[in-house]
Chain A
Amino acid sequence: MTTAALKEKRRQGRWNALLLAPSGLWYLMLLILPLIVIMVYSVGERAPTGGYQAGFTFDNYLNIGARWTAFKNTLLLAPTGTFICLLAGYPLAYFLAVKANPRMRLFLLILVVVPFWTSFLIRTYAWMFILGGRGLPHLLELIGLEGFRFINTPFAVLVGIVYAYLPLMVFPIFVSLEKLDKRLLEASDDLGASPFATFRQITLPLSAPGMITGCMLVFILLMGEYLIPQMLGGGKVFFIGNALVDLFLQSLNWPFGSACAMALVFIMMVTVGLYLKATRATGSRDVSLM
């Protein structure tokens, strides 16, 4: 390598370091440091007046059973919600990618994705309104069906979940279905396979990467959900997120809260690990997160 080239490379290196410095600093101060602090707090003790007191104990982790209901609800309703999103979202993604009028496709797709980014709070509030006493149950009463109650039940939470996260499931499945080589479907048809057999043996396996990505995205966001159980579960159906808010803002038990948060992060890391393994196995990481 010539001196000029080496000099150029060094200049480039300095330039890159300069460009990366602000974001690197941000990651250090607002991601790495806080996560380390939470790790340290999780083995500490609760100060008598609330907050944190230095210490080294695993009691907080051993005590997680005290919040078992929150973990149980989350680990039950998050996978259930994810699965319903998959069942409900797949046909729509299929319609958009295969059947929809190509000129309308982009518009229809945007129409699905947009609600996901639009005021989560207001959209969940809409369901409080619909499922609440003066909403659907009131309408059912008018036609003679009495005694229905939806709000503050696991059902209401599931409706809120599917409503909020369906777009996130549809998008990656759509991407993988759109990439699918349509000639494979024709070939299968020419070879006398029934539409169902074609779907089961070609379309479904080839859209697996999209399904896996969609499921993972929805599941991960659901694990940390707070607003939906808070608003539609009304304190009866609560998630880990609700337990965390209670521990940090109400009972001020920061060390125990930190331990619960660490447990949540741990479950998520295991999920992401499984996801990476699965995507490597299916050999496709091109249906990425966004």
Chain B
Amino acid sequence: MLRAYSAFIYLFLYAPIALIVVFSFNSGNNASDFQDFGVDWYFKAANNSLMLAALENSIIVAATASVLATIMGTMAAIALQNVRGPLRVIFDGLTYIAIMVPGIVIGIATLIALVTTFDAANTILAGIWPGDAPPKLSLGYGSIIAAHTLFAMALVIIIVRARIAGMDRSLIEASADLYADPLATFRQVTLPQLMPGIVAGFLLSFTFSFDDFVIAFFVAGSKNTLPIYVFSSIRRGVTPEINAIGTAVMLFSLTALITAQILLRRGNKPTR
């Protein structure tokens, strides 16, 4: 019975996804009536310049944010293993706050903080700028990347710290005993051991940023990311094109995720 129940839950989890995939191959115009098999909507989507622009923005944002988050997060995680006292408590607290505060609040808070800062900065810039057209700070790539990096960085810190906690310290001691200098030990012993955690953190950061709607919705300004584009087209009405875009997006993030999961699992096995 438990087995049947579990099978039912898997069906519940995957049937809606399967439905989207199946209907993405519907060549008819009607979103809910399967007429003919075809890949027409994939071609339509591939020629949709608005969608392509949004996709390009999403890739730029996700790549930049996840690289930044992975580098800064890994640096912090490595330092935190040697830090005790209030600094560590503050950092851990901030990491949890960054994860816990709902995306919508982060989005709003970042929006009003940035808009306020930009307004002030633009007034000053206009005052001191020698030419006629002073540069104007505004929402866009920078603000989405900055906001996404915050959450992703906290994620990387947690994952890499867990990996450090599970690391075999005797290898580091052995390396020191064999007269390797600290940098060589780090490069040849510590880093390879942390790598699965770092890569998993990077992949999760990328998927998070690529998938995020609510934070980007607030801080994107006039830029569209793919989720914002999809959201606004859903509002205009359900079309088969969304199924095609959705299938492509899911296939893409599924690949990244399964890689991340396997790396995390394999990484967590005790090393001998």
> CA A198 – CA B50 in complex, angstroms?
59
Give the bracket for the number of chain A residues in contact with chain B. Answer: 35 or more
The answer to whether B72 touches A224, judged by C-beta atoms less than 8 angstroms apart, is no
B194 lies within 8 A of chain A by Cβ: no
Chain A nearest CB from B244 CB (Å) reads 11
> CA A115 – CA B250 in complex, angstroms?
9
A264 lies within 8 A of chain B by Cβ: yes
Chain A nearest CB from B272 CB (Å) reads 19
Bits for B189-212, please: 1 = Cβ < 8 Å to A, else 0: 000000000000000100110010
Residues of B within 8 A of A224 (CB): 102-105
Query: Residues of B with Cβ closer than 8 Å to A?
Result: 2-3, 5-6, 9-10, 12-14, 16-17, 19-20, 23, 31-33, 71-73, 75-76, 78-80, 82-83, 87, 91, 94, 97-106, 108-113, 116, 146-147, 149-150, 153, 157-159, 162, 204, 207-208, 211, 213-214, 217-218, 227, 230-231, 234, 238, 242, 246, 249-250, 253-254, 257-258, 261-262, 265
Bits for A245-260, please: 1 = Cβ < 8 Å to B, else 0: 1001100001001100
Residues of B within 8 A of A32 (CB): 94
- Pairs of residues from A and B, 7 with the lowest C-beta to C-beta distance, nearest first: A224-B102, A34-B109, A126-B16, A19-B79, A122-B246, A34-B113, A23-B76
A227 lies within 8 A of chain B by Cβ: yes
Residues of A within 8 A of B214 (CB): 226-227, 241
Chain A nearest CB from B3 CB (Å) reads 7
The answer to whether A119 touches B102, judged by C-beta atoms less than 8 angstroms apart, is no
The answer to whether A23 touches B157, judged by C-beta atoms less than 8 angstroms apart, is yes
Name the CB-closest residue of A to B265: A106
> CA A167 – CA B261 in complex, angstroms?
14
The answer to whether A113 touches B261, judged by C-beta atoms less than 8 angstroms apart, is yes
Residues of B within 8 A of A127 (CB): 16
Residues of A within 8 A of B217 (CB): 245
Chain A nearest CB from B35 CB (Å) reads 14
Query: Which one of B108, B208, B230 contacts A257 once the chains associate, using CB atoms below 8 Å?
Result: B108
The answer to whether B2 touches A95, judged by C-beta atoms less than 8 angstroms apart, is yes
A37 lies within 8 A of chain B by Cβ: yes
> CA A47 – CA B56 in complex, angstroms?
37
A26 lies within 8 A of chain B by Cβ: yes
Residues of B within 8 A of A257 (CB): 108
Chain B nearest CB from A230 CB (Å) reads 9
Residues of B within 8 A of A126 (CB): 16-17, 19-20
Residues of B within 8 A of A254 (CB): 112
> CA A20 – CA B113 in complex, angstroms?
23
Among the stretches A60-68, A129-137, A181-189, A204-212, the one at the interface with B is: A129-137
The answer to whether B246 touches A129, judged by C-beta atoms less than 8 angstroms apart, is no
Chain B nearest CB from A290 CB (Å) reads 6
